[in-house]
């Protein structure tokens, strides 16, 4: 079976982020945003971005980066259909291994954090009295000692037996970050937006949320047409926090683009005003 087309990958990514953001909103967290060009990034960069956006937005220390040695262990787990085997010499109590039946980092993030309990895909979770319920969520959102490193591996992209393995090691002084660093990815983070299209029915004001994800952000907001105004024009947010924007359309306004920018990039929202 051929690999999914780039357009299909982007479409699936958008659907996955939408599902994640609905779950995050229920927890009081702002919308997650993927950096520009995310779908073309390596598996390591994609998973590190997602894991750290989820951790930092909850006040947890980010993973420092990805180790090629831990990648090897993660790939072996992905191919076996089981959580990876933790490499020797690493403290079990300060480390975790996870496995998902999907190769997509975005879908894996959703399954690990938001569908790992009762009624979800975790077959080991029967009732809330059993330890396996939310075990992956607890592992991803645990407080580990530093340095905190990670390894990622997948199997079956585009066909065959799918799987994604993940290794997180706290207090890891045996390995080194030599694949991708969080500092390089963090510089390209952009604001999250609660919707991609905002309709102002009959020209009435409408609102949407913008959020800082993965890092604190100073966010500036503007529109491509003076027929649409937005307030406030800027927000200073801690990671995971949100700002509510009020958008107003002048009589006769039809459409424009709302630009939500941070130092790392720009997210856009299509604005449409309809007749009464």
**One pLDDT digit (tens) per residue for the chain, 276 residues:** 344 545 555 556 777 899 999 999 999 999 999 998 898 999 999 999 999 999 999 999 999 999 999 999 999 999 888 899 998 888 777 899 999 988 889 999 999 999 865 555 555 665 555 557 888 999 999 999 999 999 999 987 654 557 899 999 999 999 999 999 999 999 999 999 999 999 999 879 999 999 999 999 999 999 999 999 999 999 999 999 999 999 999 999 999 999 999 999 999 999 999 965
Residue located via tokens 């585009």: 158
What CATH code would you report for 192-273? 2.60.40.10
Q: Return the pLDDT at 1.
A: 37
Cβ atoms of residues 166 and 84 within 8 Å: yes
Cβ within 8 Å of residue 86, ≥6 positions away:
73, 92, 95, 97, 167, 169
Q: Return the pLDDT at 126.
A: 59
Q: Return the pLDDT at 2.
A: 42
- Architecture field, domain 6-186: 3-Layer(aba) Sandwich (3.40)
Domain ranges of the chain: 6-186, 192-273
Cβ atoms of residues 60 and 52 within 8 Å: no
């Amino acid at each position: 079976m051929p690999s999914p087309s780039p357009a299909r990958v982007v479409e699936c990514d958008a659907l996955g982020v939408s599902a994640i953001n609905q779950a995050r909103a229920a927890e009081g967290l702002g919308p997650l945003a993927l950096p520009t060009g995310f779908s073309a990034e390596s598996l390591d960069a994609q998973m590190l971005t997602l894991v750290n956006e989820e951790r930092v937005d909850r006040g947890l220390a980010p993973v420092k980066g990805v180790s090629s040695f831990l990648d090897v262990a993660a790939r072996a787990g992905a191919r076996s259909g089981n959580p990876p085997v933790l490499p020797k010499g690493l403290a079990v109590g300060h480390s975790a291994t996870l496995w998902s039946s999907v190769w997509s980092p975005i879908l894996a993030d959703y399954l690990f954090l938001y569908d790992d309990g009762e009624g979800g895909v975790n077959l080991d979770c029967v009732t809330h009295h059993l330890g396996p319920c939310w075990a992956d969520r607890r592992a991803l959102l645990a407080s580990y000692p530093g340095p905190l490193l990670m390894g990622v591996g997948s199997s079956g992209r585009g066909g065959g037996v799918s799987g994604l393995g993940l290794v997180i090691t706290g207090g890891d002084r045996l390995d080194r970050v030599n694949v991708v660093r969080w500092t390089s990815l963090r510089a390209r983070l952009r604001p999250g937006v609660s919707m991609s299209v905002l309709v102002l029915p009959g020209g009435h004001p409408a609102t949407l949320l913008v959020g800082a994800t993965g890092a604190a952000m100073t966010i500036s907001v503007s529109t491509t047409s003076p027929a649409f105004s937005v307030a406030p024009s800027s927000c200073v947010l801690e990671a995971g926090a949100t700002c509510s924007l009020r958008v107003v359309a002048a009589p006769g306004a039809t459409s424009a683009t709302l630009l939500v920018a941070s130092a790392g990039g720009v997210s856009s929202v299509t604005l449409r005003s309809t007749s009464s």
